[in-house]
Amino acid sequence: MKNYLRLFSLILGPTLFCIALTCVDSGYLNPETIKVLGVALWMVVWWVSDAAPMAITSLLPIVLFPALGIFSLSEVTAPYASPIIFLFMGGFLLALGLEAHGLHKRIALNLIKITGTSANGIILGFMIATAFLSMWISNTATTIMMLPIALSVTELVKNDSIDPKGFKHFSISLMLGIAYSANIGGIATIIGTPPNVIFVGYAQELLNIEISFADWMLVGTPICIVLLTITYFLITKVLHKNKLGKINNAEVLIQKELDKLGKWKLEEKMVAFIFCLTASMWIFKTPINSLLGFPLLEDTFTAIVGGIVMFAIPTDFRAKKKLLYWKETQRLPWGILLLFGGGMVLAKAMASSGLVDILAESITQNPLPIILVSLILIASTLFLTELMSNVALSSIFIPIVIAIALQVNVNPLLLAIPVTLAASCAFMMPVSTPPNAIVFSSGNIKIIQMMRVGVWLNIISIFVLLGATYSIIKWVFG
């Protein structure tokens, strides 16, 4: 059935495009707007249905826009080389360095060790470790790494526990805690999750507003901490109270995993130094530039320098060993980078042709209080992201939200940032995000259990993000 739907969508995309072209001389809209609408419909259908790889769909503008006379070839390809894309690429390269030498696992195990060996302390440790790593590396990679460790812990608790009901609640809490923390952690930094990068790119492309790494962290980190805290208490204190207390031998198990890693290797120390130095230059860019007397540091510049250093610095001159080799970049998600470019050029075309303004006007025909507009946009994004890729949703929806904000004469950041963050708050369904699917595949959790917790977190997230609109975001961006 799924293959038939994909085949149907594969045909539907270009069919809608052709239908749109037949309406060019209809007189309802100007010809350029109709052409862009046709391309947008084709891309949206293929993105949402995954009829073709998302990266391939993102290349359609390079063929269609010059052929339709919307943009020249140089104009249409420029967004694929946006500085924001290279910022994300640099972040990916740093993440590859962390993963290649096991430093991410050492960080995670030490964070878990700090929070104690009680059942809830273990859950908290896993959640903090997962969220922290997800700030810097993909939430999928983070979850894949954390799950085997968590399964070992659940086996230990199962053997130690004389309370089957308590163990069941512990196991559910731990699995959900990892999945949700992986999603929430990405909120904190620009490179933490693709929707953040997509929004920053649109802000620069459509609004000529540059959002720095530090500014984003001032917004994202508090919201991340609030959502993480709420998630922990909701899972462990309200919906799945385990009452297990201290877990025997849990500390031994964590230490055993650390012992497998051995002592800090030279490569780990070097990666840790490069990572910390890069993060510091992102966060303290403004005072460093003031000290230098000229704006040397830009977020993309810093990211690429960090990535280059990973490849350039040798760890052993005689053996010609380096921290990273080019073959490691096979794991770099090149498709996501193409997706950003495709989304930005589509948004540029929609804006220049007036299509975004038409969509925004149709939505804002009946004036509503701005807080209600924000509530509707956040809720719509949050529940739509349960059913479709948050990358595709952000690429399509964020330009429209920016146009809506301009139509109602509101700072676009106040509407667009909460919507961007909402795209990462998919808690209900296994298909919503890779972390949800990965923990569901463990067999320790059922769909109904994920939905029961997820629906509450979705509702809570709506109001947390709505509150952030009028507090943190306004404080940081004005």
- The per-residue pLDDT for range 213-252, each reduced to its tens digit, is 888 999 999 999 999 999 999 998 888 887 777 776 777 7
Residue 176: pLDDT band (50, 70, 90) is very high
* CB distance 137 to 95 below 8 Å: yes
Tell me the pLDDT tens digit for each residue of 87-113: 888 888 888 888 888 888 888 888 877
Tell me the pLDDT tens digit for each residue of 369-400: 888 888 888 988 888 887 777 787 888 889 88
Q: How many CB atoms lie within 10 A of CB 73?
A: 12
Tell me the pLDDT tens digit for each residue of 2-30: 677 788 889 999 999 999 888 877 667 78
Maximum average pLDDT range among 97-106, 163-172, 178-187, 318-327: 178-187
DSSP secondary structure letter of residue 247: -
- Is the overall model pTM greater than 0.85, yes or no? no
* CB distance 102 to 260 below 8 Å: no
* CB distance 246 to 98 below 8 Å: no
One-letter amino acid of 105: K
Q: Please tell me the predicted confidence (pLDDT) of residue 313.
A: 82
Can you spell out the DSSP letters for 170-181? HHHHHHHHHHHH
What is the percent of the chain with per-residue pLDDT over 70, rounded to a whole number?
A: 96
* CB distance 382 to 461 below 8 Å: yes
Q: Please tell me the predicted confidence (pLDDT) of residue 2.
A: 66
As a whole number of angstroms, the distance between CA 206 and CA 366 comes to: 25
**Mean pLDDT confidence for 260-281:** 86
CA distances from 137 to 71, 98, 232, 303, 370 (A): 35, 8, 22, 13, 35
Residue 51: pLDDT band (50, 70, 90) is confident
Residue 310 has pLDDT above 90, yes or no: no
* DSSP-derived 3-state class of residue 212: coil
As a whole number of angstroms, the distance between CA 359 and CA 40 comes to: 13
Residue 259: exposure state from Cβ atoms within 10 A (0-12, 13-18, ≥19): exposed
Q: Please tell me the predicted confidence (pLDDT) of residue 224.
A: 93
Residue 362 has pLDDT above 80, yes or no: no
**Mean pLDDT confidence for 410-439:** 86
Residue 423 has pLDDT above 70, yes or no: yes
Residue with more model confidence, 423 or 163 = 423
> How confident is the prediction for the chain on average, in pLDDT?
84
Q: Please tell me the predicted confidence (pLDDT) of residue 159.
A: 67
Residue 296 has pLDDT above 80, yes or no: no
As a whole number of angstroms, the distance between CA 87 and CA 82 comes to: 9
Residue 107 C-alpha from the chain's centroid: 21
Comparing CA positions, the residue from 207, 210, 219, 209 lying closest to residue 406 is: 207
Residue 301 has pLDDT above 80, yes or no: yes
Q: Apex CA 197: angle with CA 431 and CA 374, to 5°?
A: 75
Residue 162 has pLDDT above 70, yes or no: no
Residue with more model confidence, 357 or 81 = 81
Secondary element (H or E) of residue 450: helix 447-469
Q: Please tell me the predicted confidence (pLDDT) of residue 281.
A: 86
* CB distance 455 to 428 below 8 Å: yes
As a whole number of angstroms, the distance between CA 457 and CA 422 comes to: 11
- Alpha-helix runs per DSSP H in 284-314: 285-292, 299-312
CA distances from 244 to 111, 123, 150, 416 (A): 21, 12, 16, 43
